[in-house]
Amino acid sequence: MSGDKKYPMAEAVRAAYRAGEEDEAIEPRVLLGADGKPMGRFGDGDYVIFYDIRGEREVELTDSFTNPDFKHFKVAPIRTHWATMIEYASELDVKVAFPPEKEIRNSLSEVLSKAGLRQVKVAETEKAIHLRYFLNGKREEPFPGESHVFVPSPEEPDYSKVPLMSAPQVAEKTIEAINDPKNDFIAVNFCNTDVLGHIVNKPAILTAVHEVDRCVGALVAAAQAQGVTVVVTADHGTVEKWLYPDGQVDTGHTDSLVPFILVDPEFKGAKLKPTGALYDVAPTILQLFGLSKPAEMTGASLLLSSVSKKRRRVLLLIADGWGARDEAYGNLILEADTPNMDRLMAEWPTTRIEAAGKAVGMPKGTVGNSEVGHLHMGAGRRVLSDRVRINESIEDGSYYDNPAFAWAMEGAKRDGKALHLLGIVSFYSSHGSVEHLNALLEMARRRGLKAVYHHAMLGRRGERPESGAIYIEGVEKEMEKLGVGRLVSVIGRFWSLDREENWDRIEKTYRWLVDGKGLPVNAP
């Protein structure tokens, strides 16, 4: 590959676009030094700062480097020292820059458990963590009386080829749970709209939306037959804003409101609040069960009517990514065939609630995501996001003295080892921001580090086409301006950020980082 460009890794990404590759699945690229060898590979004793947030997709890669008993593939006989932006998993042997502030106590699931109610959560594995972990207030163990049914997602890297995913099986398992009278609370997630919305394939998205609608209809019918109250909502929007104003596709999440529908003959003519937020879902469900809202829940029930004292069973049906928007332009929810959701919204009490921005602890004007969405549905209160905490620390300057970052940088400097900065490169991704990377580069400059290498992950979710090259060039320019660091690697996040034990992908990323396995890019 030509090395006559001033910003070689940005040019490498542009070349990948010309070859038909897209950001998320870009094959690994590695910068070569003057000796023809890959620059900046992970070596024994090196220090790594993994600056991603969110975390559930970062666990496997981190584990492959930090777990001495790692068995999923053969690893190199090296030891690297890791700091992570947030806690990806409590068992990882890493320093954490922004550890969890405190446990979210008295979440919806905890209150139901304390009341002796039996609950079951159903999803396909693509969204299992959202029901078992985020909905439970980031608790890793189930509460007493809680069980899970997780259906494997298709083993197909391109979900546009299987837009139904495992929704039919999820619906079948949920109906089984509905038909078991011992289950008091059932939560189910249908992920098709969200997952397919990240892929540029309109027919597949329309199929996915229709399938979710079909499953909604089947589950509501089963619930009504068993006298089960149904709450239908979503964690965030996606394909109701599928186009930018200029007609280009937006594959990201949105800042739209989401629907909230209450299906129960007792409340046929009842009124719901005209607006609310995801943190009002838990108080509403507790009211349906006749349970008092704990003091920690600052949300309020959306139901304005009183509730009878009869024993009640409740189904929480989450249509993941199903935003509510009236405008037809770029609105694939309106364009899809959705007779069941249309009927439910016409016949039963319905409102729209906030699922993005400040209402879910995110910066003003930002989009929602599945993690914060499920977290707020279960927490019943506004939970300040990691992103807000990090951004505020950059603004007040405390970021540059963060003990975990300082440990990694001073350790590399003291030991004469390299510092590696690893993570997503995006203006705004649910996994992080380039601003967090730039602040780390500034911190490294202030501390006088010399051997600093950046390894970038790309993923076009909510980004314009070919935006990755723009971000990569921006990082190369920032390093040039600061006089610190070298961007030496680029890879699509598909190969690096996994949560379903696709160890072949993680091994590919591992070999990229350690051995320099990837397409070569000549340095200018």
In angstroms, the CA 514 to CA 79 distance is: 11
Residue 201 has a CB neighbour count (10 Å cut-off) of 17
Span 75-99, average pLDDT: 96
Q: Is the pLDDT of residue 374 over 80?
A: yes
Per residue in 440-491, pLDDT (tens digit) is 999 999 999 999 999 999 986 656 777 889 999 999 999 999 999 999 999 9
Do 372 and 385 contact (CB within 8 A), yes or no? yes
Per residue in 137-174, pLDDT (tens digit) is 989 899 999 999 999 999 998 999 999 999 999 999 99
Span 298-310, average pLDDT: 96
Span 331-353, average pLDDT: 98
What per-residue confidence (pLDDT) applies to 3? 40
Residue 119, classed as helix, strand or coil, is strand
Strand partners, 432: 429
Q: Is the pLDDT of residue 512 over 70?
A: yes
Helix, strand, coil share (%) of the chain residues, nearest 5 = 40, 20, 45
Residue 385: which pLDDT band, with cuts at 50, 70 and 90?
A: confident
Cα separations (Å) of 301 from 63, 143, 176, 422?
Answer: 41, 23, 29, 42
In angstroms, the CA 40 to CA 454 distance is: 8
Identify which has the larger pLDDT, 290 or 499: 290
In angstroms, the CA 31 to CA 215 distance is: 48
Mean pLDDT across the chain? 95
Q: Is the pLDDT of residue 103 over 80?
A: no
What per-residue confidence (pLDDT) applies to 452? 98
Do 267 and 310 contact (CB within 8 A), yes or no? no
Question: Phi and psi at residue 358, in whole multiples of 5°?
Answer: -60, -25
User: Residue 160, Cα to own-chain centre: how many angstroms?
Assistant: 19
What is the torsional sign of CA 71, 76, 78, 82?
negative
What per-residue confidence (pLDDT) applies to 384? 86
Residues of the chain with CATH 3.40.720.10: 108-383
Per residue in 206-262, pLDDT (tens digit) is 999 999 999 999 999 999 999 999 999 999 999 999 999 999 999 989 999 999 999
CATH architecture of 108-383: 3-Layer(aba) Sandwich (3.40)
User: Strand pairing of 229-233 and 258-263?
Assistant: antiparallel
For residue 272, is it left (φ>0), alpha (ψ between -120 and 50) or beta? Answer: beta
Residue 172, classed as helix, strand or coil, is helix
Measured in residues, the chain has a length of 524
Do 290 and 102 contact (CB within 8 A), yes or no? no
Fold of 8-99+388-522: 3.40.1450
Look-up: residue for tokens 């009278």?
Answer: 181
Per residue in 328-339, pLDDT (tens digit) is 999 999 999 999
Per residue in 214-228, pLDDT (tens digit) is 999 999 999 999 999
In angstroms, the CA 112 to CA 135 distance is: 13
Share of the chain above pLDDT 90, in %: 88
Do 382 and 410 contact (CB within 8 A), yes or no? no
Span 360-370, average pLDDT: 90
Angle between helices 339-347 and 202-225 (to 10 degrees): 50
In angstroms, the CA 259 to CA 325 distance is: 9
Per residue in 1-56, pLDDT (tens digit) is 334 468 999 999 999 999 999 888 899 999 999 999 999 999 999 999 999 998 88
Residues of the chain with CATH 3.40.1450.10: 8-99+388-522
Determine the straight-line distance between the first and last CA of the chain, rounded to whole angstroms.
11
Span 419-426, average pLDDT: 95
What per-residue confidence (pLDDT) applies to 462? 56
In angstroms, the CA 21 to CA 360 distance is: 34
What per-residue confidence (pLDDT) applies to 4? 40
For residue 270, is it left (φ>0), alpha (ψ between -120 and 50) or beta? Answer: beta
Residue 165 has a CB neighbour count (10 Å cut-off) of 24
What per-residue confidence (pLDDT) applies to 153? 96
Residue 40, classed as helix, strand or coil, is coil
